[in-house]
Amino acid sequence: MGVLVIGSIHADFYVKTWKFPSPGETVKGSSFFVLTGGKGANQAVGCARLGVPSYLVSAVGGDDLGRMVLRDVQSKGVDVSYVHVDPGTHTGVAFIVLNESTGENLIVVAPGADDSLRPEHVERALTDLQGRVRVLLTQLEVPLDTVYYALRRCKELGLTTILNPAPARKLDLGILEYVDFLTPNRVEATQLSGVDATSFEGALRAAERLTELGPRVVVLTLGSDGALLVTRGSAKHVPAFRVRVVDTVGAGDAFNAGLAVAIYEGMDIERAVLFANAVAALKITRVGAQSVPDRREVEEFLASRGELREL
């Protein structure tokens, strides 16, 4: 049994700098490198690193970048048999400016093959994997009809569904009926609920509103403030762990991978959010969206913070 991840795969072109440029300004960067990224691939790698069989349904172009990212994700333990190759376009790329003084980033994505992922690719994977996956984890970097199809079909097949509604997009809210766990950040929660989630109070109201639209659980991520865990009738704040921030790219993906693994393993939801917070905390101490800790590192980290017994 394993986790099915449906989403994007990218080549992340990183440039490090000490200062973000203003519009029209040129600043000198300190280094340049290319790593594998994309929210789908990052989350699939996260699940594999945390010890759970992970299947990725995604799309690449018929180019060297596509071959490179596929090889890389496979070497990290992800089953890539269901990654579609579209020779008519380029592999998705992300241009990332990483601010070395703050760990913050600016990202622009050119989706390329992300847009080629169709419901039939999802169906092919589900037909083959039926009985071998019990959790679906998906995001919004691929076409919405594909995401909707995946959520409906996976619910029909009895999987637990997790939607990480990133990046923020306008959704048909009816789809939230097919979502068990919804994991927006403040911007995404605002977009979906129509309630401004900038303040803590606002975030709580936005999450409550979202639970009325279908999801059993809303986990609203608050960056360095941790996460809000809201169900119909209960709400809990789970603070983040304090760590030295090096690179926040992929922090949300690491969190979602941690949450999916915890749900897959049947942890209770409060412990699952604590576990996910630990995975995200360790990720941001390292450069690269797929620098997700392995299971042993997460357990040692939790023990060092006095949390092992709770898990």
CA distance 49 to 171: 31
58 near ligand RIB (CB under 6 A): no
Which of 126-134, 155-163, 247-255, 292-300 is the region at the interface with ligand RIB (rule: CB under 6 A)? 247-255
Which of 13-21, 32-40, 53-61, 68-76 is the region at the interface with ligand RIB (rule: CB under 6 A)? 32-40
249 near ligand RIB (CB under 6 A): yes
98 or 135: whose CB is closer to ligand RIB? Answer: 98
187 near ligand RIB (CB under 6 A): no
Question: In the complex, what is the shortest distance from the CB of residue 216 to ligand RIB, in angstroms, rounded to a whole number?
Answer: 24
> Is position 64 annotated as part of the catalytic site?
no
Question: In the complex, what is the shortest distance from the CB of residue 208 to ligand RIB, in angstroms, rounded to a whole number?
Answer: 26
Mapping DSSP onto H, E and C, the string for the chain reads: CEEEEECCCEEEEEEEECCCCCCCCCCCEEEEEEEEECHHHHHHHHHHHCCCCEEEEEEEECCHHHHHHHHHHHHCCEEEEEEEEECCCCCEEEEEEEECCCCCEEEEEECHHHHHCCHHHHHHHHHHHCCCEEEEEECCCCCHHHHHHHHHHHHHCCCEEEECCCCCCCCCHHHHHHCCEECCEHHHHHHHHCCCCCCHHHHHHHHHHHHCCCCCEEEEECHHHCEEEEECCEEEEECCCCCCCCCCCCHHHHHHHHHHHHHHCCCCHHHHHHHHHHHHHHHCCCCCCCCCCCHHHHHHHHHHCCCCCCC
250 near ligand RIB (CB under 6 A): yes
Question: In the complex, what is the shortest distance from the CB of residue 253 to ligand RIB, in angstroms, rounded to a whole number?
Answer: 5
Contacts of 247 (CB under 8 A, 6+ apart): 98, 103, 105, 284, 286, 287, 288, 291
Question: In the complex, what is the shortest distance from the CB of residue 38 to ligand RIB, in angstroms, rounded to a whole number?
Answer: 5
12 near ligand RIB (CB under 6 A): yes
Which of 31-39, 168-176, 211-219, 220-228 is the region at the interface with ligand RIB (rule: CB under 6 A)? 31-39
42 or 116: whose CB is closer to ligand RIB? Answer: 42
Of 4, 46, 1, 3, give the one whose Cα is nearest residue 150. Answer: 4
Question: In the complex, what is the shortest distance from the CB of residue 261 to ligand RIB, in angstroms, rounded to a whole number?
Answer: 17
Q: Which of 2, 6, 37, 137 binds ligand RIB (CB under 6 A)?
A: 37
Q: Which of 5, 6, 14, 42 binds ligand RIB (CB under 6 A)?
A: 42
Compute how many residues bind ligand RIB; rule: CB under 6 A.
Answer: 16
Contacts of 135 (CB under 8 A, 6+ apart): 3, 4, 159, 160, 161, 162, 260, 263, 264
Comparing every residue's Cβ against ligand RIB, the nearest one is: 37
Residue from 128, 253, 268, 294 carrying the catalytic annotation: 253
141 near ligand RIB (CB under 6 A): yes
Which amino acid belongs to residue 221? T
Which of 4-12, 23-31, 71-79, 302-310 is the region at the interface with ligand RIB (rule: CB under 6 A)? 4-12
Q: Which of residues 150-169 bind ligand RIB (CB under 6 A)?
A: none
72 near ligand RIB (CB under 6 A): no
Which residues are catalytically annotated?
A: 253
Give me the residues that bind ligand RIB (CB under 6 A), please: 8, 10, 12, 37-39, 42, 94, 107, 109, 141, 249-250, 252-253, 289
